[in-house]
Structure 1
Amino acid sequence: MKISGAESVVMEALWAKAPLAAEEISAEVAGPQGWTEATVKTLINRLLKKHAVAATRDGRRYLYRPLIARADYVGAESQGLLDRLFDGRLAPLVSHFSETGALTPEDIAALKKLIEGFEP
């Protein structure tokens, strides 16, 4: 499932706290993004059509909840990035960030700790 950058903002709000009404989602994301409530409702409708969210009637409004877990979405997006740009391999991605100076000393220490604790 392909979720756009704008749609992912709505998903993040739902992953953080669901279920939410459209007005609540709008209150969370519209201001920081410079969006109108209509824009947020359009994004919700797109996510409904993609089956990324579900709606449950609650009186005169609908409550929305995610149908996909954030971890599953992040995993699929991460693998897609690796496949598209780095032939499915993680080492060239890390090398790229190392060569461009994007890795901080804290990042390097965290990566070393992960590698030291890895058992194939």
Structure 2
Amino acid sequence: MNKLPQISEAELEVMKIIWKHPSINTNEVIKKLSKTSEWSPKTIQTMLLRLIKKGALNHHKEGRIFVYIANVDENDYVEVESNSFLNRFYNGTLNSMVLNFLENDKLTDNEINELYQILEKRKNRRKE
């Protein structure tokens, strides 16, 4: 999919369920979202319909139940949204964001160590 549809925060919660459970039916979506939200089944069905209209989801009928499949790849969506976030708040640079978190003590020592290890692994991989 070339251009990703605009997905609201609420719709994103529905997409996360579908990404985690491909080919999931309406009842299963409702059951899973009922555990983490207070949305009514009707609200969830409305969000599913919106996502279909936006092109984020596809569906087909199996018996009397609709089964949903994501048209938007989760990794593609995360990449586009991450870049959008960086551009809006940090002029497109990851360094600015990390520096902001460090300067405002938003990262614990464990998180800093984990980041360091990730960066070291990536650096070593590039040398190979």
State the TM-score, normalized to the length of structure 1: 0.92
Q: After superposition, what is the alpha-carbon deviation per residue over 1:17-40, rounded to whole angstroms, capped at 9, x for unaligned?
A: 121111110100034211100010
**SS of the residue 1:112 aligns to:** helix
Residue of structure 2 in register with 1:84 after alignment? 88
Q: Write the distance in 1 (CA, Å) between the matches of 2:109 and 2:7.
A: 32
Summarize the alignment of residues 104-119 of structure 1 with structure 2, pairs less than 5 Å apart: 104-117=108-121, 118=123, 119=126
Summarize the alignment of residues 38-117 of structure 1 with structure 2, pairs less than 5 Å apart: 38-117=42-121
Tell me the CA shift for residue 96 of structure 1.
1.2
**SS of the residue 1:62 aligns to:** strand
Which stretches in structure 1 are left out of the alignment for 5+ residues? none
Question: Aligned-residue CA RMSD in angstroms?
Answer: 1.4
Q: After superposition, what is the alpha-carbon deviation per residue over 1:16-64, rounded to whole angstroms, capped at 9, x for unaligned?
A: 1121111110100034211100010011011101111100111112100
Tell me the CA shift for residue 116 of structure 1.
2.2
Aligned-pair identity in percent equals 30
Name the aligned partner's letter for residue 37 of structure 2: Q
State the TM-score, normalized to the length of structure 2: 0.87
Q: Write the distance in 2 (CA, Å) between the matches of 1:66 and 1:100.
A: 38
**SS of the residue 1:65 aligns to:** strand
Count residues with an aligned counterpart.
120
Name the aligned partner's letter for residue 105 of structure 1: D
